[in-house]
Structure formats: structure tokens, C-alpha cells
Structure 1
């Protein structure tokens, strides 16, 4: 009876098989005939312990099943408060153990003795608060261990001793405050280290001295006030994340990483003469008011959400190899003409959400490779000729959400590659679409929402853009006067043009009155009937100041009247000449008779 009870207590651990998709044809001899059958190859087996409660002194049992082909053991919704010595004695060939969310409170030292083939140990989501010395000392083949989401506040110095093949270690989401010089000294093959979301305030100087193969280190969401030191020979270090700490300054000589994240700290200034191997630097969400120097080699710099106000060329020295620069969400009021000098490789420049009211002429003259420029969400009220000099490679220009009331299309003459232009949320009332397209003939999309457009002019603009296969971003202002959802007004008023001569109110009234007079005249009605549909289409396809076929009819009438006057004048002149010649001949004849 006792044996039955024991079997029942262990019956929840089942052995399951994973078979190959490959089918093997087998045969056996019976009754003088061969019988054939097909069988799937058994790749490996694994143990599943579901709703299991293990007490001290018990061994994991799977009954009479063979354990030679078992690859891993996993616990689901189980209760293993203590991982004691001998629990896994029989499973010496297992390569992985999953003890996630199993209510583990204690792991006895050498609890995994004999498991020389174990390469992966998952212990996340438990209630561990201490890791004792030599706990994992027998796992010489271990490559990955996950201790995240526990309550660890203490890890003894030799807890990871002998783990010379360990490559991945996660200690995230614990209560660790201190790391000494010895803890990681055996982890010479470690590549990934995650200590994020802890209470780290102190890391000893030599804590990472022997981590010569480290590639990724994450210290985010801690309380660090000093820069941790890394071995400067770590050329392979790819990513270091120190975001969301309490750093007020940063010593760049201590870390050499390709990607360095220092966002969301309290850094107020940057002085960096050499970037070594760092190519991507994130300094967003700090208190930076001044940048003294950024060293060579940097390719991407993020300075969003800081306190920059003036970008003076002397202190603001950037790497000439920079490809992307993000200065958005600051308080930049101005920059000098030579602020961005020598940034010949820059391709992306973001200056949105600042306080710029003017852009210096030739302020981008060295940015010959720039592809994207964002000046949106500033206070710009105009763009002068020469502002965009040097931007011959620009493909996307964002001028939305400013105070622009005038656009000089000719100032875009260098934009031979411009594909996208955003002019939303400004004060524009006129845009010469033909002239713009003559300068930006590669334009593919344009956005014109929320400006002061006249509806008639807006219709004509959209017609021209669509005839050039330029896409229009549609808006949703359908409850007010609009064209394709783009807000406009039917009111007459002065037009702000982008030509060299502004169209004033008096000239508008003159042409409007002239147009109305001839539209009601018999001349217009007569010529309107005479003209064929083909002629009308040719007239309407041409450009004129009034943009109306009536104007062409008026010009035609005036031209014909002028021609008639000229012909009459010539006729009268000829008649006068003929009379004079006859009088002269008669006078001569009289003199001859005398």
C-alpha cells in the first residue's frame, strides 16, 4: 500500500517525447512473411512536473521510465521551496532545468552536483533573497542562468565560482545594491550581463576587470552616481545601458562601447575629447546646457529633452563623422552660421520643438549629404534666400507648425532630390505651385493642412500638384470650407505671394472689375461662341495672372481692336498720301501750261 501511495505522489511528473518529422520504414518477420510499418524517430524526451510539491529529502522520480534520453526538466505551477542536494541526482544528462515561478526560497550549495551536462538554468520569478557561496560550482558547462524577478539583496562573493563557460547572466528586477571585485571574476566567457531594475549604488572599480568578452551590459533603473569602470581593452563591447540612474557627470574614459545609453540621468555638461569605439550616444532627458566637445568616431548623437538654448560654434564642436544629430525638444533660440560646419557626413538633423524664430543664412552650407531636415514646431516666420544653401541631397523637409506667412519658392532652387515637403499648420495664403515644381521636380508628397488658403487658389494649386503626380496628404476639416479636407476661406483679400513682386489689393480690384465688365459684354459673348472647345481647353491650360479664360478673351478683343485701329490708320494715311500726290501733279501741269 505504501508503494502505491509513493507512486501516486510522483505521478504528476510525466515523461513526454518529441519525435522527428522523418519517417523510418521498419519490418519484422511473422508467420513466414515480412510485415512493414512506419515509425517516427524519437528525438528526445523531457520531464514535466505540473502542480508538484517537493519536500526535503525527496528525489525527483519518473517511475520506471528510462532517463537516458531526457533533455530537460520543467516545473509548471509547482512548489519547490528548497532546491536541496540530491534532488536531481539521477538526471546527470539533462541539459536544461526550468524552475520558473516555482516558489523557490533557498538553493543549497552544490544542489546541482553531478549535473555536468547542464547548460541552461532558469530560476526567474521566485523568492530567492540570497545566493550562497559555491551554489553553482559543479555546473562547469553552464552557459546561461536567469535569476531575474526574485528578491535578491545579497549575492556572496563566490556564488558564481567555477562558471568559466557562462555566457549569459540575468540578475534583473532584484534588490541588489552592491557588487564587489570578486563576484564576476570567474566569468571569463560572459557575453551578456543584465543587472537592470535593482538598487545599485556602488560597483567596485575592478568588478568587471576579467570580463574580456563582454558584449552587452545593462545597468538601467538603478541608483548609480558614478561611472562603472570597464577594462579599456573591451573592443568587442557593443551595448552599455546606464539609463535611468542618478549620474551627474560621466567619465568617458571608463567605458568603450559601440552603443552607449545615458538617457534619463542628471548629466549637466559633456566634455569628451575621444569617443574610442563609441558610435551611438544617447544623452536624451538630461540637464545638459553645454557641450564642450564630442570626440571623433561618433556617428549618432541624441540630445533630445535637454536644456540647450544657444548653439555657439566655438563650444559646440561635434564629430565630423556624425551621421545623425537629434536636438529636438530643447529650448534652442538660435544657432550661428558655422555651428554645423564640417559635418559633411550628416544625413539626419532634427531641430523640431525648439524656439527658433530665424534660421541663419547659409547655416547648413556644409551639410551636402543631409537627407532629412526637421524644423517643425518652432517660431519661424519666414525662410530667406540662401537659408538652404548646400542642401542639394535633401529628400525630406519638415516646416510644419511654425508661423510661416510667406514661402519664396525660388529659395528651394537647390532641392533637386526633395521628395516630401510638410507645410502644415502655418499662416500661408499663397503658394506658386508651378514655380515650386520647377525647382523641386522630384517632389512626391506635400502636406498643406491648416493654413490661410483661399479656396479658389487652393483648387488651382492642387490641380497643378496632381497634374505633376504629387501626392497630397488629405486632412479632415470637413465641417468648414475645405478642399479635400484642407481648410480654406472664400473671403477676398490681399494675397501673400512668393514672387519677387507682391500682388496688392488695388491691382486685384482692377483685374476683377475688368474681368466682370467684359464677362457681361457683347464682345465676350460673341467670341465665347466662336471659340471651339479645343481652343478653350488650350486657353485654360495656360497660366495667366487671373487664371481665367475670360482674361484671354479680353486680351484677344483688345488685340483685335488695336489691329483694326492700326489698319484704319494705315488706310487713312494712304488716302491722304494719294490726294496729296494728285494735287501735286495738278499743280505741276498748271505751271507747265503757263
Structure 2
């Protein structure tokens, strides 16, 4: 017992520093609507671990203001109207790991400390008024890994502005006013993993701009004004995984322009002015999984343009000017799951276009000029159709073989040029829930003043005349719109215009097992079981009766034998 107690005391002494440290980590101070005077009057701040100030009126941070905050790890001063920090305002924060000065009015960046903040790994200066970064702006933050400078007014980066940031991994410069990316901007950032430059005014990137950034994995350049991708010919970006060039002014792609990008998985070229994809455009992209070329003016795609993309899973060619597609376009992309051809000018699809795709989950060919969908019957035999969604809406289909679409997960057929007689014949049966013909229409109701209902309807064409079929349950709508009357007045009925019966598709009898058949068979089974029980009971009763008769017969025989023996004994005595 004493040895156990001693062991417990020893463990308690060993764990005491850890317990104290854990207690300190839980100390958090959050203030809002404060001012500099209240901040100076705070007491017992030496053990604070987190300080979060929001919507305060600080304007300027004085020198050595945080000297007493020796254990501070996280500090956020957001929406505090900060205009400036004095040269040594951050002195004493040797343990600080994360600093956020976002949503203020800072116009320049300095070290704000005469000693390195060796523990600082995250700095957020977003949503300020920074216009440029001077040389060695972050020299006192040698361990910085994340730097957010987004949503400022930065037009230029001076050489060596990121000096000494050898551990920086994530740099955010999006939503600024940069126009030129010079070769000297990111020199020395050897560990940079992601760089965000979207939403600037960049017209040119110098060829050697990313020469030092051999570990860059994500590069975002969307929403700029690039017209040339000469910088991509440099081999320094060979490890890119995500590349976004959306919303620029690109008109063409250089042949073999991506030949060094064998690790690239996501490529976004949407919202440009591209006109075609040739057989040499995407060479080298063996690892590409997502290709987005939507919202361009592509009119032609070569038959073998996607052949190098053996791992392609998603492709988006929507919102282009495609009239036809090569019949072997996807024959080398057996891993494809999602194809988007929405909003083009496709008049037909070749029967063998999708024949090799056994993993297809989603196919969108809406808003084209398709007149038939016979190619859907030529899908790969190994394809699981129960997982496939097809959008054929807003085309020029007049009729379909609906039996070939019954086993799809979902098929959207709304807004086509349906033949009225064909549509009426097929609407006599209740279609499966996976088929959608109708679209929502706003309709004014005559039962209440200017009430608009969303009803479902289908357009059809009888020759050149457009007709509309409205699917409306009138009884339900009237029940929902008629207020409950509380008066004692006599109710009247309109015999000339009785309530229109609900519109519904009649159900056609089938030979399937319905509920009545189930009930009948259950009753038959119960009757058979009851008869079996009665027969078993009678059998047991008969068996028990026979046994009792044998016992009585034996008893009678025994009595006769006893009586005979008694008479014999009496005779011998006489």
C-alpha cells in the first residue's frame, strides 16, 4: 500500500509541469468594442494563451504594448481600425505562432519587432490597404509558413520582399492589383507549395518567374488578363498538381505546352477564347483527372486529343460551339465518370462514342440540337446503368424508346419537341420516377386573387402547332387555397360547374402480386395450418384412446386370472 502511494506521488510530481502547461493553454481572452486604454489596463495577462480583439478602436499600436504577453500563442486584431504599428509594437511575443491583423487600414508592412519572432508560422494581413511590399518586409519572421496578403491594393513587389522566408509554403496574393510577375518576385521560396494570384490584372508572367519554386503544387491565375503561356515552358513547374487559368484571354494552346507536367491532376481552362483542341495540345498529361474547357468558343476537337489522358475522370466541354464529336474521342479514357457537353450545337452523337466507358456516372448533353438518343442503347455492357444520370433536356427529341431508359438512375427529358400523339400514348401509364418529362410553370389561379402556383407541364408539337399539357391536381390546389369558412351561412353548390376531378394517369392492371393476392394466400395458408392442427389433435386423441383400451383390457384379464386362482384355491381346500 505504501509503495503504491509513493508511486502515485512520484507520477504526480512528474506530471505537474504538464498539468500547469495544459491549464495555461486554456486561457483565452476575447474582447469586442474596446479601445487602447482598456487594453493597457488589462491585468493578469502573463499567462494568456490566446488574445482575440474584434470591432475595437485601436488605430495605432504603441511600442512594447505586448511585452507582458510572454505566453501568447495566438493573437487576432481584426476589424480594429488599425492604421499603423510602431516599429517595436510586437516586442515580447517570442512564443507567438499565429498573428492576424486582417480587416484593418494598414498601408505598409514592417517587422514591428527588434527581435525575430522565431515561433510565428502564420501571418494574415488580408483586407487592408497595402500598396506595395518593400525589401525585407518579413525578415523578422524566419519560420513563417503561411502568409495571407489577399484583398489589398498591392501593385508591385520589390526585390527581396520575401527575403528570409525559406520555410514559406502557402502565399496568398489574390484580389490585388498586380500587373506583371517578375522573375525576382518569388526568388528563394524553395518550399512554396501553393501560390494564389487570382483576381489581379496580370498581363504577363516572365519565363523565369517560378524558377526557384520547384515544389509548387498549386498555382491559381484565374481572372487575370493573360494571353500567352510562355512561362509554362520552363521546367521549374514540373510538380504542379492543380493549375487554374480560367477567365483570361487565351486564344490558343501551344503544341506540347504541357509535356513536362506529368503530375498535373486538375487543369482549368474555362472562360477563355480557345477555338480548338489538337492532337498535340494535351501531350504529357498522363495523370490528369479533371479537364475543364467550358465557356470557350471551341468548334473542333481532334479525335486523338484526349488519348494521352488515360486517368481522366471528369471532362467539361460545356458552353462551346461544338457541332460534332469524333466517334473515338473517349476510347482511351476508360476511367471517365463525368462528361459535360451542355450548351453546344451538337446535332447527333455517334453510337460508339461512349462504348468504352464502364465507369460513367453522369452525362449532360442538355441544350443541344439532338434529334434522337439511339446512341444510349450502345453503352458498354459492363456499365452499371443504375448509377448513371443523363440530362437530355432542351434538345429536339420527338420520340424515344422509353423501355431502354427504365434502368437509369435519372433521365431528364424536359423541354423537347415531343410529338403530341406519342406523348399522350406514353403518358397513359405512370412513368417511373427516374424519368422526368415536365418542367415547372407559374400559373395564375382563378380560385383566389392573383395567386401564382408552380405547376408541372409538358410541351408537345402537333405538326407546327405548339401545345402544352399541364399536370395539375385541381382538387389539392383548391383545397389548399380555399379558406376555412367560419360563418353559419348555408353552403351552396355549383351544379353546372362541379369540382373538376384531379388529373392523374390511370393505373393499368398488371399480373404482379398485389395486396389482395397476398391477403388471399395468407388466409389459405392459415386455413391449411388450422386443418393440420385439427388432424394432429384427432390423431393424438385416437392414439391416447387406444392405449387406454389396452390398459383396461389388461386389467380385466388380470381380474379374471385372480378370480380363477381364488376359485381354484377354494376347491383345493374343500
TM-score class, shorter: 0.5 to 0.7
Which residue matches 2:529?
none
Aligned counterpart in structure 2 of residue 340 of structure 1, from 330, 333, 357: 330
Q: Does residue 320 of structure 1 match 2:310? A: yes
Conserved 8 A contact 2:343-2:367: yes
- DSSP 3-state at the match of 1:99: strand
How far did residue 490 of structure 1 move?
12
Residues of 2 paired with 1:176 and 1:54: CA distance? Answer: 29
Of 271, 280, 291, the residue aligned with 1:285 is 271
Structure 2 unaligned segments of length 5 or more: list them.
Answer: 1-21, 445-454, 465-507, 512-574
Equivalent residue number for residue 244 of structure 1? 223
Relative distance call for 1:97 and 1:428 in structure 2 (3 A) is same
Q: Aligned pair in 2 of structure 1 residues 490, 478: CA closer, same or farther (>3 Å)?
A: farther
In structure 1, distance between residues paired with 2:36 and 2:174:
32
Structure 1: gaps spanning 5 or more residues: 1-39, 430-450, 494-538, 543-594
Q: Supply the distance in 2 between the matched residues of 1:357 and 1:391 (Cα, whole angstroms).
A: 25
| Contact 2:417 2:459 survives alignment (8 Å) | no
What pairs with 1:292-307 in structure 2 (closer than 5 Å)?
292=278, 293-294=281-282, 295-307=285-297
Deviation by residue 1:180-206 (Cα, 9 ceiling, x = unmatched): 441223222222211111001233324
User: How far, CA to CA, are the matches of 2:251 and 2:86 in structure 1?
Assistant: 47
Q: CA 1:477 to 1:206, structure 2 compared with 1: closer, same or farther past 3 Å? A: closer
Match of 2:427 among 441, 458, 469: 458
In structure 2, what is the Cα distance between the partners aligned to 1:540 and 1:74?
A: 70
- Quick check: 1:398 aligned with 2:376? no
Compared with structure 1, are the counterparts of its residues 374 and 136 closer, same or farther at alpha carbon in structure 2 (3 Å cutoff)? farther
168, 188, 192: which is aligned to 1:210?
A: 188
- Alpha-carbon spacing, 1:401–1:115, altered in 2? closer, same or farther (3 Å): same
- Match of 2:40? 60
Answer whether contact 1:380 1:402 (CA < 8 A) is retained: yes
TM, length-normalised to structure 2: 0.65
> In the alignment, what sits opposite 2:210?
230
Change (3 A) 1:48 1:136: farther
For 1:351 and 1:281, the matched residues in 2 are separated by 17
**3-state DSSP class of the match of 1:145?**
strand
What whole-Å deviation, never above 9, does each CA across 1:44-84 have from its counterpart, x for those lacking one?
Answer: 444556555448xx99332xx43332223343443333323
Structure 1 residues 474 and 45: alpha-carbon distance in aligned structure 2, compared to 1, 3 A threshold: same
Paired residues of 1:348 and 1:372 also in contact (CA < 8 A): yes
- In structure 2, do the counterparts of structure 1 residues 408 and 299 end up closer, same or farther at CA, with 3 Å as the change threshold? same
Matches of 1:334 and 1:476, distance apart in 2: 31
Q: Distance in 2 between matches of 1:50 and 1:540?
A: 70
Cα distance 1:112–1:224, how it changes in 2: closer, same or farther (>3 A)? Answer: same
Aligned residue for 2:162?
A: 184
Aligned-partner Cα distance in 2 for 1:103–1:269: 46
Which of 337, 349, 354 matches 1:359? 349
Q: Work out the CA distance in 1 between the residues paired with 2:435 and 2:423.
A: 20
**CA distance 1:417–1:320, shift in 2 (3 Å):** farther
Partner Cα distance (1:304, 1:406) in 2: 29
Correspondences of 1:95-110 after superposition (within 5 Å): 95-110=73-88
Contact 2:47 2:69 in 1 (8 A): no
Name the CA distance, whole Å, in 2 between partners of 1:391 and 1:220.
Answer: 44
- Show CA shifts across 1:432-460 (max 9, x none): xxxxxxxxxxxxxxxxxxx7654354113
The range that moved more, 172-181 or 201-210, is 201-210
Tell me, yes or no, if the aligned pair for 1:137 and 1:160 is still in contact at 8 Å.
Answer: no
Query: Is contact 1:455-1:489 (8 Å) kept?
Result: no
The equivalences for 1:158-557 within 5 A come to 158-227=136-205, 229-231=209-211, 234-235=214-215, 237-250=216-229, 251-252=231-232, 253=234, 254-255=236-237, 256-271=239-254, 272-292=258-278, 293-294=281-282, 295-313=285-303, 319-384=309-374, 388-390=378-380, 392-393=382-383, 394=385, 395-408=388-401, 412=404, 418-429=408-419, 453-460=422-429, 462=430, 465-466=431-432, 475-476=439-440, 485-487=456-458, 541=510
Q: Is the 8 A contact 1:477 1:487 kept in 2?
A: no
Q: 1-side partners of 2:461 and 2:306: how far apart?
A: 49
Write the distance in 1 (CA, Å) between the matches of 2:315 and 2:300: 16
Task: Give the CA deviation at 1:355.
Answer: 0.5
Summarize the Cα distance change of 1:336–1:46 in structure 2 as closer, same or farther, 3 Å threshold.
closer
TM-score, normalised relative to structure 1: 0.63
* Cα distance in 2, alignment partners of residues 249 and 491 from structure 1: 52
Cα contact 2:186–2:212 (8 A) shared by 1: no
On the 8 A contact 2:348/2:370 being kept in 1, the answer is yes
How many angstroms does 1:312 deviate by? Answer: 2.6
Separation in 2 of the partners of 1:417 and 1:470? 8
Equivalent residue, structure 2, for 1:559: none
